[in-house]
Structure 1
Amino acid sequence: MPTRRHFLIGFVAAPIVLPGLGHAAGAPAQLSLTPTCIDDDDVTPAQTEGPYFTPHSPEKQDFANDAPDGERMTLAGRVLTEDCRPVSKALIELWHANESGLYDNGGYKLRGHQFTDDEGKWWFETIVPGLYPGRTRHYHLKVQRPGGSVLTTQLYFPGEPLNERDRIFNATLLLDVSPTDDGKFGRYDFIVA
């Protein structure tokens, strides 16, 4: 079985293929419910920020050291416009619970941001968040293209028993998750107006 690094190398090396120009060999497929840039007016839906957002997070990609006992997860994707063009220098901010379902509300563990590369790609090395009462497993994110408005949303895991009982859950925000020898690899492409 491949590792998370194998998936990340494949993701970083894969060129962006615009609709009608074919599909890149080995590129992860979109989930059928996930908004795509070829759907008319189908941008990534906004969701609540929740009570645990902390402003002024540090710029970082590696959250794994913040929770050494958590199951490793590489989270990756692209930021694209509605006409499938990559958005470079878009802000991606991530925060989530630790493996026990607790947020660091006094510091910046499992919190940070980065900017997309020239091809609109982003990735974080992190962990699978734990569950806490009333919610299914999820990540919180903010996405902002240069000069654009901020999209606040959440990403979810497919097959989670609590998905259908979580009043905030939205199936269009499901990650495409693959198991690896050393954790999981999750993919999601944000479509921004």
Structure 2
Amino acid sequence: MSARLFSLLFLVGTSCAQFVPGTDTGNGLQNGCSVTPADTLGPYYVPNSPVSRTMCLGTSDDDYMFVKGTVYDVNCHPVHGANVEVWQADKTGLYYDDRCRVQFTADQQGKYSFVTTVPGKYLLGYYYRPAHIHYRVTAPGYREIITQLYFSHDDSLGANDPCGSACNSGSAELIMDIRAPTADDLVQIAQLVTFPISKVVEFNPVMSH
């Protein structure tokens, strides 16, 4: 496969991953919602994280992102009240037990959002793991989701990930584009922090019963 064709397929995959479940596919049909692919919990999970929608905050010069999404079920209905736990490495690639990890509850429409720094990459053996944010999503009557959110155009994704088959960074459903904020995003960001944020990522976990 040529490098140009591979790049095209990769971009198509990441675009599809951001398709909002249940929206019109263009042929008059509604797309179903597939359960979010699993990924490893990793060695740095700590239960009972603080309840907050900001984490990994440092100086105003750090590289921040606004992460938002909706928790759905396989029928493309929002899962209101889902508990979302997220944790990540800080900007230098280090994990801590007492920071860069929070939990919060999705609202009545299944929506959630939080502000964090762009996670740093860290060496695993001789190679870097792709930047990622860990997710654990739970809700009464649903199977928990344990997965990781990755970012497009990271040269450590997929076959280049030293985590190998234990991780799932080659899954297009877990690789999201980083985009500029919309006017609505800016309103939501201003409710969480007072400094400007130029990066937004959307990730919509899908749960099964």
Map 1:20-31 → 2, pairs under 5 A: 31=15
Q: Does 1:32 align with 2:16?
A: yes
How far apart, CA to CA, are the structure 2 residues paired with 1:179 and 1:85? Answer: 27
Consecutive unaligned residues of structure 2, counting only runs of 5 or more, are 1-13, 23-29, 182-195
Q: CA RMSD in A?
A: 2.0
How far apart, CA to CA, are the structure 2 residues paired with 1:133 and 1:74? Answer: 25
Q: Does 1:131 align with 2:121?
A: yes
How far apart, CA to CA, are the structure 2 residues paired with 1:147 and 1:50? Answer: 25
Q: Does 1:70 align with 2:54?
A: no
Map 1:1-193 → 2, pairs under 5 A: 31-33=15-17, 36=21, 39-40=31-32, 42-65=34-57, 67-68=58-59, 70-105=62-97, 107=98, 109-134=99-124, 135-164=129-158, 165-166=160-161, 167=164, 168=167, 169=169, 170-179=171-180, 182-193=197-208
- Residues matched between the structures, number: 161
| Superposed displacement of residue 183, structure 1 | 3.0
Q: Secondary structure at the match of 2:173?
A: helix
How far apart, CA to CA, are the structure 2 residues paired with 1:114 and 1:41? Answer: 23
Distance verdict in 2 for CA 1:176–1:182, change over 3 Å: same
What CA deviation, in whole Å up to 9, does each residue of 1:85-109 have, x standing for no partner? 111100110000000000013x2x1
How far apart, CA to CA, are the structure 1 residues paired with 2:82 and 2:197? Answer: 29
Instruction: Assess if the C-alpha contact under 8 Å between 2:66 and 2:116 holds in 1.
Output: yes
How far apart, CA to CA, are the structure 2 residues paired with 1:64 and 1:189? Answer: 22
Instruction: Assess if the C-alpha contact under 8 Å between 1:64 and 1:72 holds in 2.
Output: no
Distance verdict in 2 for CA 1:128–1:116, change over 3 Å: same
Q: What amino acid sits opposite 2:69 in the alignment? A: G
Q: What amino acid sits opposite 1:131 in the alignment? A: K
Instruction: Assess if the C-alpha contact under 8 Å between 2:18 and 2:202 holds in 1.
Output: no
Which has the larger Rg?
2
Instruction: Assess if the C-alpha contact under 8 Å between 2:52 and 2:102 holds in 1.
Output: yes
Q: Secondary structure at the match of 1:186?
A: strand
How far apart, CA to CA, are the structure 2 residues paired with 1:188 and 1:31? Answer: 12
